Amino acid sequence: MSRYTQLSLEERCSIARLREAGQSIRQIAATLDRQPSTIARELKRNTGNRIGYQPAYAQAQTSARRWTGSRLERDEDLRDAVLARLSAGWSPEQIAGRFEREEGRKVISHETIYRFVYAQLKRTNDTKWRLYLPRAKIKRGWRTKGGWPRTHGKCSIHERPPDIASRQIPGHWEADCMLFRTPGPAFLIAHERHSRITLAIPQPRLKAQTVAECLTRLLEPLAPELRQSITFDNGGEFYRHHLLASQLGIHTYFCDPRAPWQKGGVENAIGRLRRALPTKTNPTELLPQQLDAILANYNNTPRKCLGFKTPAETFNLLHFGCESTPGSSPG
């Protein structure tokens, strides 16, 4: 049995010519060595009301029916669900992972979401589509950052125990400051490496004493197991780091000069928060409840590294686990 093949453009030209000559469907089929049903179906599906049967028009109609497009182009409900989560600040990988966790099967890949957004950006020439993406970039790629040297009298990050680098043990933090175009005010960002929980404290000015006191007040209520160490870059605002060691017993470590990427957790957190807090933001005009909502959205977004649980879920398990250990309850 011969395998069926689609009609070619040349065959469609022959159909049009023979049809104009007054031949029947069976005569055309015999000439082209095709089944009469094939010719009948071709004429029925690809004949225009006004132009009749034209080879170019028939070829275009067939191509249009065979084009399926992106999965998100075809599935309106899935597209709306994906765009809603992108608007909420989720990354494509978080969306794909959460769908798989909820449905128990792979629903869509993160690469499909990326390709859909970039296809829309190219097709519509509307740069607003980039705002759906975590870094809001026109083109995909990586960017690097620099720093400045301040290392005297500080414990190097290379002296940290290997357990901290593995992220498997909770209680190890990273801190940095989120700066804005307006000079002076900033946000002090603290990030826990295991759970990825991220906290922010407004700072009117980046004074070393104030920064150290804020971090002390932030970490003091936690169980000792959840505040073992903290890593900084070489900014002068962390000059009073020894207060954390003396008052809370926290070990402090510092990145190499011009290498803030060595505390990648808090750098990544700041990059994600930039979507809601761009550099043009004036921190003094941001209401406390607005900042709380931004942090709540960040901490309740699932993460691939956590098995698509959220940082809030993970940290709550750690926190309550420490509270329930023997000797941790009030006596």
Q: What's the whole-number average pLDDT of the chain?
A: 86
CB neighbour list of residue 170: distance below 8 Å, 6 or more residues apart = 192, 194, 195, 225, 226, 318
What span, in angstroms and rounded, lies between the C-alpha atoms of 76 and 71?
9
pLDDT at 317: 85
Q: Are 63 and 12 in contact (CB under 8 A)?
A: no
pLDDT digits (tens, 9 = 90+) for 165-218: 889 999 999 999 999 988 889 999 999 999 999 999 999 988 999 999 999 999
pLDDT at 328: 38
pTM of the model: 0.57
Fold of the CATH domain 157-323: Nucleotidyltransferase; domain 5 (3.30.420)
Rg (CA), the chain: 31
**pLDDT of 318 strictly over 70:** yes
Identity of the highest mean pLDDT range in 117-121, 167-171, 323-327: 167-171
**pLDDT of 278 strictly over 90:** yes
What span, in angstroms and rounded, lies between the C-alpha atoms of 259 and 261?
5
pLDDT at 52: 87
What span, in angstroms and rounded, lies between the C-alpha atoms of 186 and 208?
13
Kindly report the backbone phi and psi dihedral angles of residue 311, in degrees, each rounded to the nearest multiple of 5, phi listed first: -55, -35
**pLDDT of 141 strictly over 50:** yes
pLDDT at 153: 63
DSSP H or E stretch at residue 119: helix 110-124
For the chain, first and last CA: distance in Å? 87
**pLDDT of 139 strictly over 80:** no
Give the bridge partners for 253, in sequence order.
231
pLDDT at 148: 39
DSSP H or E stretch at residue 188: strand 186-192
Helix (H, G, I), strand (E, B) or coil at 167: coil
> What is the rounded average pLDDT of the residues 263-292?
93
Q: Which of 313, 308, 301, 306 is nearest to 87 (CA)?
A: 301
> What is the rounded average pLDDT of the residues 125-144?
77
Give residue 314's identity as a one-letter amino acid code.
Answer: T
Buried b vs exposed e over 27-37: b needs ≥16 C-beta within 10 Å? ebbeebebeee
- Helices and strands, number each (H, E), in the chain: 14, 7
Q: Which of 323, 296, 325 is nearest to 312 (CA)?
A: 296
**pLDDT of 331 strictly over 90:** no
**pLDDT of 77 strictly over 60:** yes
Q: What percent of the chain clears pLDDT 90, i.e. is strictly above it?
A: 56
What span, in angstroms and rounded, lies between the C-alpha atoms of 177 and 267?
10
Q: Given the DSSP bridges, would you call strands 52-53 and 47-48 parallel, antiparallel or unpaired?
A: antiparallel
Which of the four pLDDT bands, split at 50, 70 and 90, describes residue 149? very low
Q: Are 164 and 252 in contact (CB under 8 A)?
A: no
